[in-house]
C-alpha cells in the first residue's frame, strides 16, 4: 500500500545498506567498459570543445549548447587528459549520483520502498547506462534535474528557504549544462501550480499556506534567474536556433507528439516491446494507486514531469529529431511511476500471504529484475555507437598503400556526414599516409582533395553508415566488412584509379540512400574532375528537391559547367546554366555576363546618342544603389522621379531575347507622403506604333515595399531595330511628391530554351 508518509530525517542501517548496494550496482554498470568504445560524432564535439583554451570556450558560445558541460570537461582534460575514459567519467559519476537522488524523490513523494524501487529501476536502466557512458551532457543534466526536483519536493513539504534556494541553484546549473533544463523547470512549475489547485479545491490548506508556496516558488525561480543571468542572451539565441524561422525549414520541424512518446516508451522500457509494455503497465497502476490513495504528488509529479516537456516541444515547434536522449530527464519520472505501481502490485499479491513470503517478496522481485536486465546490460556494454578504432585497425591490415577513405552516410535526411569526424580523429593512429574524402561533400576542397587522391592511386575504401536497413551489395563486385553501429567498409574488387572506383560504387549507394540527391551531386563532381562534362550534366539532372542545404553545392557545380561551356563556346548550354544560376542568385556576375546582350545602366551612363532621357523637372534621372531595409536586398537602379522616361534605340539580334529588371520605390520616398508610381515598359519597332508590354503600379504601402520582378519577352522583335522606353508615371492621385522609382539593373538578355 502506498502512503504519503513523512520523509525520514535519517536513514536506518537497513535502508542505508540497500541504497548502498543499489548505488554500487549502478556504479559497476556505468564504469565497466567506460573507455572501451571509440568516440562517436557527438562525443568528438565534446573532445574538440574541451581541448580548447578556457578563453575560447567562454568567448564563443555555442548556439546549441551552453558552456557548463564543456567547462566541466575542460577541467577533466587538465587533470586526467582527453582519453575516452576521462571524458566519459563526469557522465558516469553523474549517472551514479542520480540513483540516491531518485531514492530521495520517491521517499518524499510516497515512502522509502517506492524510493528504493525507483532507484533500482534506474540503476539497471540500459538507456540511462548508455548516456552515463557517453561524453555528452545528458546524464549530468538528469542529475541536476534530480537535485532540483528533490529540493523542490522538500521545499514544498518542509517550507524551508534552503530547499527553495537549492532548487533555484540546481535548476540554473542544469540550464548551464543543456538548454533542455528549461523544460524541466517548466514541468516543475506546472507541478506546483497543479498542486496548489488541488489543495485549494480540496480545502486542504489555507490561502495563506498556498501563498507561501507561491512565494517560495517565485524565490526559487528568481535564484535561477540570478545565477543564470550571465548567459541569458546566448540562451535566448540557443532557444531560437530550435524554434526560429530557420528551424522551421529544417528536416525535423513538426515531428508529431506521438513520435516522441513512442520513441521514449520503447527506449525507457529497456528497448524491448514486452518489457516496455510491462513497465508502462506498472506506471499506469502507480498513477491509479496514487488517485485511489489521494496522494496528489504521486499523480501530479509523474504527469507533469513527463507530459509537460513533451507538450512544450510540440506546441513550441522545436525542430529536433525525436530522439529520446533529448528528454532523458523524463526517465526518472517515468520509473518513479513504475515503482509506485510495482510496490502496489507486490502488496496486492502478498496481502494474504504468510509473513515469510511477504518479507522475502521484494528480494524475489529484485532478483527477477536483475535476471531480466543483466543480459541487456551486458549487451549494452558490448555495443558501440561507431567503432572507429576497429575500422582503423582493419584498414591498417588491409588498406594497402595510400588508401582513399570515403565516409558516406545513407540513412539521414540531410547531408550530415557522421563518419568524417570519427575517421579524421582515429585514422592517424593507424595509417601513416591516406586520403580522407568526405562523401556528400566532394565539392568542398577542404574535405575532398580529389586531385591528390587520384594521383595517389591507392585502393578506395568507402565507410558506409546505414542503420535503418542492411546495406546490400553484390559480392562479385564489392568486398564488404560489417562493423558495429550499422557501419560497412566497402572496397570495389575491380582494380581502377580512385575516382573511377568511386564512380563504380556510387550508383549502388544511390539506390539505397534515404536522400540520394547528395550522392548525385558527388557523382557530378567526380565526373567534372575527370573532364566528363556530359556525364556531370546528366548527374545534375537527376538531383531532385527537396535537397536541404545543397544550394551552395549546386551553384558551384553549375558555375563549373558554365565556365566550361563558355570556354568551349557551347552557347546554348552556357545560357541554360546561367539562367538557372540567376534563379538561385540574381546577382551572379558570371551568369549575368553570359546572358546579357545590353546592360541598359551601362548604356545610360555612357551618354550614348542612342539614349534619350526625359527627366522630371524635380530630379534628373541617375543610377543609385538602394537597399530594402527588411531583407537587405539591394539593387543598382535607374532612378526617376515621376513623371519621367528614358528611351534606348537598340538593334536586337535574330535570337529570341527578353528584358529583365526589378522595380521598386526608393525607400527614402516611403515616408514622404506620395502614392507610388506606375511603371511602364513600351517598345516601338521602326515604322510601327509603340506597344506597352509591361505596366505595374507600386505603392508606398507596406506590402509593396520590396522588389518586384520584371521579365518581358522581346521575341516578337527579334532581328529588328526598336526603341525601348522605361517610364514612371504618377500614382492614381497624380501626386508626384517623393515618387522616386527605380528600375534595378535593366538589361536585354538571351532567352533560354529551358531551365535545368
Going by C-alpha positions, the residue among 224, 213, 190 that lies closest to residue 306 is 190
Peptide bond into 643 cis (omega under 30): yes
| Cα 244 to chain centroid, rounded | 12
Q: Are 583 and 560 in contact (CB under 8 A)?
A: no
Q: What is the DSSP letter of 36?
A: S
Give the DSSP per-residue string, 685-751: ETTS--EEEEEEEE-SSGGG-S-EEEEEE-GGGTTSEEEEEEEEEE-TT---TT-EEEEEEEEEEEP
Helix axis angle, 138-158 relative to 207-228, nearest 10°? 150
| Cα 135 to chain centroid, rounded | 19
- Grid coordinates of 323: 530522439
| Cα 19 to chain centroid, rounded | 40
C-alpha 504/C-alpha 355 separation (Å) is: 74
Q: Are 275 and 372 in contact (CB under 8 A)?
A: yes
C-alpha 714/C-alpha 165 separation (Å) is: 75
Could you tell me where the DSSP H helices lie in 383-491?
Answer: 388-398, 418-430, 450-456
C-alpha 603/C-alpha 611 separation (Å) is: 8
C-alpha 99/C-alpha 67 separation (Å) is: 25
- Grid coordinates of 71: 567547462
> Taking the chain, what is the end-to-end CA distance rounded to the nearest angstrom?
72
Taken in order of first residue, the domains within the chain and their CATH numbers are 25-382 (no CATH), 388-569 (no CATH), 595-750 (2.60.120.260)
**What pLDDT is recorded for position 608?**
83
Average pLDDT, consecutive stretches of 10 residues, N- to C-terminus, the chain (756 residues): 49 83 97 94 94 87 84 96 97 98 96 96 97 97 98 94 97 96 96 91 77 93 96 84 68 82 91 91 94 92 94 85 93 97 90 75 89 92 91 93 94 90 95 94 88 91 95 95 94 94 96 96 97 97 91 95 95 91 89 93 88 88 90 91 94 94 90 84 93 94 91 94 95 82 94 51
Going by C-alpha positions, the residue among 542, 480, 478, 485 that lies closest to residue 515 is 542
C-alpha 604/C-alpha 215 separation (Å) is: 73
**What pLDDT is recorded for position 1?**
44
Q: Is the dihedral of CA 125, 128, 131, 133 positive or negative?
A: negative
> Quick count: other Cβ atoms within 10 Å of Cβ 23?
18
Average pLDDT, whole number, for the chain? Answer: 91
Give tens-digit pLDDT for 78-104.
Answer: 999 999 999 999 999 999 999 999 999
Give the DSSP per-residue string, 120-183: HHHHT-HHHHHHHTSSSSHHHHHHHHHHHHHHHHHHHHH--HHHHHHHHHHHHHHHHH-TTHHH
Consecutive H or E run containing 199:
helix 181-201
C-alpha 678/C-alpha 731 separation (Å) is: 6
C-alpha 129/C-alpha 362 separation (Å) is: 23
Residue 435 CB burial class (10 angstroms; 0-12, 13-18, ≥19): buried
β-partners of residue 641 are 740
Sheet holding 487-492, edge to edge: 435-436, 404-409, 460-465, 487-492, 478-483
Maximum CA extent, the chain: 116
Q: Is the dihedral of CA 650, 653, 658, 660 positive or negative?
A: negative
| Cα 509 to chain centroid, rounded | 24
What are the φ and ψ backbone dihedral angles of 260, each rounded to 5 degrees? -65, -45
Q: Are 148 and 292 in contact (CB under 8 A)?
A: no
- Grid coordinates of 678: 506606375
Which pairing describes strands 708-713 and 478-483: parallel, antiparallel, or unpaired? Answer: unpaired
Sheet holding 677-685, edge to edge: 611-614, 644-651, 721-730, 677-685, 691-698
CB contact set of 274 (below 8 Å; sequence gap of 6+) = none
Give tens-digit pLDDT for 147-187.
Answer: 999 999 999 999 899 999 999 999 999 999 999 999 999 99
Q: Are 684 and 716 in contact (CB under 8 A)?
A: no
Which pairing describes strands 404-409 and 435-436: parallel, antiparallel, or unpaired? Answer: parallel
**Cβ density class 137-160: b for 16+ within 10 Å, e for less:** bbbbbbbbbbbbbbbbbbbbeeee
**What pLDDT is recorded for position 251?**
66
Residue found under cell 537602379: 637
- Grid coordinates of 301: 509529479
Question: What 3-state DSSP class applies to 333?
Answer: helix
Residue 701 CB burial class (10 angstroms; 0-12, 13-18, ≥19): exposed
Question: What 3-state DSSP class applies to 190?
Answer: helix
CB contact set of 622 (below 8 Å; sequence gap of 6+) = 638, 639
**What pLDDT is recorded for position 235?**
85
Q: Is the dihedral of CA 100, 106, 108, 112 positive or negative?
A: negative
β-partners of residue 726 are 646, 681
Question: What 3-state DSSP class applies to 186?
Answer: helix
Residue found under cell 566497402: 490
> Quick count: other Cβ atoms within 10 Å of Cβ 93?
17
C-alpha 488/C-alpha 397 separation (Å) is: 16
Q: Are 290 and 283 in contact (CB under 8 A)?
A: no
β-partners of residue 651 are 721
Could you tell me where the DSSP H helices lie in 202-295?
Answer: 207-228, 232-243, 245-248, 257-268, 273-292
Amino acid at each position: 500500500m502506498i502512503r504519503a508518509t513523512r520523509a525520514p530525517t535519517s536513514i536506518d542501517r537497513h535502508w542505508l545498506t540497500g541504497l548502498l548496494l543499489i548505488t554500487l550496482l549502478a556504479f559497476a554498470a556505468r564504469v565497466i567498459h567506460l573507455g572501451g568504445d571509440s568516440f562517436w560524432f557527438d562525443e568528438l564535439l565534446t573532445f574538440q570543445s574541451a581541448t580548447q583554451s578556457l578563453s575560447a570556450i567562454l568567448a564563443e558560445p555555442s548556439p546549441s549548447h551552453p558552456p557548463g558541460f564543456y567547462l566541466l570537461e575542460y577541467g577533466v582534460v587538465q587533470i586526467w587528459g582527453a582519453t575516452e575514459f576521462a571524458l566519459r567519467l563526469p557522465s558516469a559519476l553523474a549517472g551514479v549520483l542520480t540513483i540516491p537522488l531518485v531514492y530521495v524523490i520517491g521517499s518524499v513523494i510516497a515512502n522509502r520502498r517506492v524510493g528504493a524501487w525507483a532507484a533500482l529501476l534506474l540503476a539497471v536502466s540500459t538507456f540511462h547506462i548508455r548516456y552515463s557512458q557517453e561524453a555528452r551532457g545528458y546524464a549530468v543534466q538528469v542529475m541536476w534535474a534530480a537535485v532540483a526536483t528533490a529540493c523542490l519536493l522538500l521545499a514544498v513539504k518542509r517550507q524551508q528557504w534552503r530547499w527553495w534556494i537549492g532548487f533555484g541553484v540546481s535548476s540554473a546549473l542544469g540550464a548551464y549544462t543543456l538548454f533542455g533544463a528549461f523544460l524541466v523547470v517548466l514541468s516543475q512549475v506546472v507541478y506546483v501550480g497543479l498542486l496548489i489547485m488541488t489543495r485549494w479545491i480540496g480545502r486542504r490548506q489555507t490561502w495563506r499556506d498556498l501563498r507561501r508556496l507561491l512565494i517560495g516558488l517565485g524565490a526559487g525561480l528568481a535564484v535561477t534567474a540570478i545565477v543564470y543571468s550571465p548567459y541569458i542572451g546566448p540562451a535566448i539565441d540557443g532557444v531560437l536556433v530550435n524554434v526560429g524561422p530557420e528551424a522551421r525549414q529544417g528536416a525535423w520541424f513538426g515531428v508529431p507528439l506521438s513520435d516522441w512518446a513512442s520513441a521514449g516508451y520503447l527506449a525507457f522500457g529497456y528497448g524491448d516491446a514486452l518489457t516496455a509494455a510491462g513497465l508502462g503497465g506498472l506506471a499506469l497502476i502507480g498513477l491509479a494507486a496514487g488517485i485511489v490513495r489521494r496522494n496528489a504528488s504521486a499523480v501530479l509529479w509523474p504527469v507533469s514531469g513527463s507530459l509537460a516537456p513533451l507538450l512544450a516541444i510540440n506546441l513550441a515547434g522545436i525542430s529536433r529529431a525525436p530522439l529520446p536522449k533529448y528528454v532523458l530527464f523524463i526517465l526518472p519520472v517515468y520509473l518513479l511511476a513504475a515503482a509506485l505501481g510495482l510496490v502496489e502490485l507486490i502488496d496486492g499479491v502478498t496481502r494474504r500471504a504468510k509473513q515469510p513470503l511477504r518479507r522475502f517478496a521484494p528480494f524475489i522481485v529484485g532478483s527477477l529484475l536483475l535476471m531480466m536486465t543483466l543480459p541487456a546490460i551486458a549487451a549494452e556494454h558490448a555495443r558501440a555507437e561507431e567503432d572507429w578504432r576497429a575500422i582503423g585497425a582493419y584498414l591498417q591490415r588491409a588498406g594497402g598503400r595510400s588508401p582513399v577513405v570515403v565516409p558516406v552516410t545513407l540513412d539521414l535526411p540531410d547531408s550530415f556526414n557522421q563518419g568524417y569526424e570519427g575517421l579524421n580523429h582515429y585514422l592517424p593512429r593507424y595509417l601513416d599516409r591516406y586520403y580522407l574524402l568526405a562523401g556528400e561533400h566532394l565539392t568542398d576542397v577542404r574535405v575532398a582533395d580529389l586531385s591528390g587522391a587520384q594521383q595517389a592511386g591507392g585502393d578506395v575504401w568507402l565507410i558506409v553508415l546505414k542503420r535503418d536497413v542492411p546495406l546490400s551489395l553484390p559480392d562479385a563486385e564489392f568486398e564488404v566488412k560489417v562493423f558495429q553501429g550499422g557501419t560497412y567498409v566497402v572496397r570495389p574488387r575491380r582494380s581502377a584509379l580512385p575516382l573511377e572506383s568511386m564512380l563504380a560504387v556510387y550508383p549502388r549507394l544511390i539506390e539505397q540512400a534515404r536522400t540520394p540527391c547528395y550522392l548525385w551531386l558527388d557523382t557530378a563532381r567526380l565526373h567534372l574532375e575527370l573532364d566528363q562534362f556530359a556525364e556531370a550534366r546528366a548527374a545534375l539532372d537527376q538531383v531532385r528537391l527537396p535537397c536541404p542545404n545543397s544550394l551552395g553545392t549546386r551553384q558551384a557545380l553549375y558555375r563549373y559547367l558554365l565556365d566550361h561551356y563558355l570556354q568551349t563556346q557551347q552557347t546554348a548550354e552556357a545560357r541554360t546554366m546561367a539562367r538557372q544560376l540567376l534563379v538561385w542568385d540574381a546577382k551572379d556576375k558570371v551568369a549575368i555576363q553570359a546572358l546579357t546582350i545590353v546592360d541598359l545602366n551601362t548604356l545610360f551612363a555612357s551618354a550614348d546618342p542612342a539614349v534619350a532621357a526625359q527627366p522630371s523637372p524635380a530630379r534628373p534621372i541617375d543610377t543609385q544603389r538602394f537597399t530594402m531595409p527588411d531583407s537587405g536586398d539591394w539593387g543598382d537602379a535607374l532612378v526617376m522621379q515621376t513623371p519621367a522616361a528614358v528611351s534606348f534605340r537598340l538593334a536586337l539580334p535574330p535570337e529570341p531575347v527578353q528584358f529583365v529588371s526589378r522595380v521598386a520605390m526608393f525607400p527614402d520616398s516611403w515616408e514622404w507622403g506620395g502614392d507610388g508610381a506606375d511603371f511602364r515598359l513600351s517598345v516601338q519597332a521602326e515604322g510601327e506604333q509603340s506597344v506597352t508590354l509591361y505596366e505595374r503600379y507600386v505603392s508606398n504601402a507596406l506590402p509593396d515595399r520590396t522588389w518586384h520582378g520584371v521579365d518581358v519577352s522581346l521575341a516578337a522583335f527579334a532581328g529588328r531595330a526598336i526603341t525601348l522606353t522605361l517610364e514612371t508615371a504618377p500614382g492614381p492621385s497624380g501626386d508626384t511628391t517623393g515618387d522616386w522609382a527605380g528600375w534595378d539593373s535593366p538589361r536585354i538578355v538571351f532567352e533560354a530554351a529551358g531551365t535545368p
